[in-house]
Amino acid sequence: MSKPLDVFCEVPCLTEQSRQLSGIALQKKWFKSADKRIIGQYLQKFIDYNSSQFRFIGVQPFIIGSDQNTSLTFRSSSFIGTIPLIASDTGKQIGDFVVMPRFTGRDRFEDYIEILNLLGTEISPEVIDSLPLASGKNFRPPLYLEAVKFIASLEALLSRPWRKFDNIEKISSQPSGQINWTKYINNEYKIENRLKFPTRKNILSEFHSEYAEIRYVFDICKNELLSSNTPQRIKNTIRVKLSFIEEKLYHHKPKATNNIITKSSDSPTVKTCKEQANKILNFNLVDSTAWRVDFSDVFEKFVQHIFKAVAKETGGKLFANFKFHSRTSKHYSWELKHIEPDAIYQKENLLVFIDAKYKSNLYNKFDNSETLKDDHRHDLHQIMAYTSFSKTDFKYGFLCYPSDQLELKAIKYKNGINEVTNTVLVMGIPLKKDSINEAKRLLTNELNELERRTTTR
């Protein structure tokens, strides 16, 4: 598939080095008024002009070569998203820079939504003020992504009663309450209307106007989620929920609106649903600006989900984001108040520390990059710091990286002075729902083996 004309460059997240973009080719397409003899200077200006945007999306640009052989290449991190770019020769907006999810499916958000549905969590795109994206709505999170979140918030709303007082006018046979005397006078000349008093009353009911507006937004989301815009896998998982919600809202008639007003008296559940509904209503009105999603958050929760399931099956316990607090009379300004592994697995005397790192190490196993070495050295020191809290001489820690395939490798570090051994298990886990069962099987066998070694010593 050819790259859209309004996209400057498109790379997957966790790319160590993208393909090189020739400076001369960039000059011909994007920097037409630049002097090709000193194109390297224009590329450096280009990086400087867009430095804040590149930092936002976690991309590092590099210049390779010199003079007319200069090229531009990029290293991406755990973020996905899109940023607008400024040309270095004119200062005007050019194409967008796009960082895609590292998935192979036909739809870039298909696996992402499937995982978030599985985890039962929400990780919303972070948006900043910027120039409108040149690619417009093509490279922003799609409407069905917001629709899925609205359905989740509506499910929570439907799980409890939402009643409000509606002020409605009814005909009463007695002159009690708030009577519309003007209307009564206009009709009372007829004898049969003498005892018909138009009275306004407050009635507590679920059939109020705000629920009708929520129903209107539900219909918009339902049409989007069942349309050709939404990947088939997401349709299959959401269809049952849509049927259930439609049945619950059967007696609520939709009321068209452009905005649902949030009130200070709204409960947190109602407020969340209203705010998500307004995102749906305003979706096509909001200019597309720079946005990002941090996949390291997604991967951390995914790893915790797998280890939690394994802990249940093996009879162990899992402590997610357990904090070790520092104890001192005086803190330095740069001092860490606590350290926090992503998870700790415990079963009797066995204590295993788990840290999830959404980094590209296992996608580049034989790359001699100093950056990769520095990243792994930092990760290794961190997991070994966590394992120091184990009382036993044999310390275990899992260092989990994303990978194309499921894999597990043990690395042992032994202290020759006191014979203490620290075993770091580097585990590659594909960020896909289909990989969970095999990952659980592999982990169960490994943890059982670690437990056996601990009890036999």
* Secondary structure letter of residue 216 according to DSSP: H
pLDDT score of 1: 42
- Cα dihedral 184, 187, 188, 189, rounded to 10, equals 150
Distance separating alpha carbons of residues 353 and 386, to the nearest angstrom: 7
Distance (Å, whole) CA 154 – CA 210: 13
Alpha-carbon distances, residue 47 vs 81, 97, 113, 310 (angstroms): 18, 12, 33, 46
Cα–Cα nearest to 341, from 315, 309, 303? 303
**Taking the domains of the chain in order of start, what are their residue ranges?**
7-106, 141-163+206-287, 164-205, 294-456
Structure tokens at 444: 């169960």
Asked if residue 212 lies in contact with residue 256, where contact means CB atoms within 8 angstroms, the answer is no
Backbone φ and ψ of 343, nearest 5°: -165, 155
DSSP string, 121-158: ---PPEE---SPPTTTTTTS--HHHHHHHHHHHHHHHH
Name the token pair of 75.
């290293």
Supply the pLDDT for residue 109.
66
In DSSP terms, which residues pair with 428 in a beta bridge? Answer: 401, 407
Side by side, the strands of the sheet bearing 197-205 are 164-172, 197-205, 178-179
Contact 448, 315 (CB under 8 A): no
* Cα Rg of the chain (Å, integer): 29
**Which residue in this structure is represented by tokens 């096509």?**
284
What is residue 244's three-state secondary structure?
helix
Q: Tell me the residue type at 370.
A: E
CA distances from 438 to 309, 311, 444 (A): 12, 15, 10
Give the residue from 358, 360, 357 showing the smallest Cα distance to 380. 357
Take residue 238 and report the two structure tokens written for it: 């959401």
What's the rounded Cα separation, in Å, for the pair 325 and 338? 4
| Phi, psi dihedrals of residue 203, rounded to the nearest 5° | -120, 125
The Cα 53–Cα 133 span in angstroms is 12
Closest CA to 114 of 232, 277, 222, 13: 232
Q: Which of 90, 99, 70, 97 is nearest to 30 (CA)?
A: 90
Q: Compute CA 147 distance to the chain's CA centroid, rounded to the nearest angstrom.
A: 14
Tell me which residue has tokens 């809290």: 389
Q: Look at residue 434 in the predicted model and tell me its pLDDT.
A: 85
Comparing C-alpha atoms, which of 236, 69, 245 is closest to residue 154?
245
Question: 33 vs 30, 44, 119, 347, CA distance in Å?
Answer: 9, 16, 50, 67
Which residues are CB-contacts of 249 (< 8 A; sequence separation ≥ 6)? 158, 215, 218
Burial (CB < 10 A; 0-12, 13-18, 19+), residue 55, is exposed
SS3 content of the chain, % helix, strand, coil (to 5): 40, 25, 40
Residue owning tokens 């597309």: 288
Chain center to CA of 26:
33
Residues contacting residue 266 through CB under 8 Å, at least 6 positions apart:
274
Q: Looking at residue 25, what is its pLDDT?
A: 92
pLDDT along the chain (457 residues), means of 10: 70 92 91 88 93 95 87 93 90 90 65 72 72 71 82 89 70 72 73 74 72 92 87 83 90 90 89 91 74 87 93 92 82 82 90 93 89 92 91 88 93 86 92 90 93 77
Question: For residue 112, how far is the Cα from the chain centroid?
Answer: 8
Cβ atoms of 322 and 339 closer than 8 Å: no
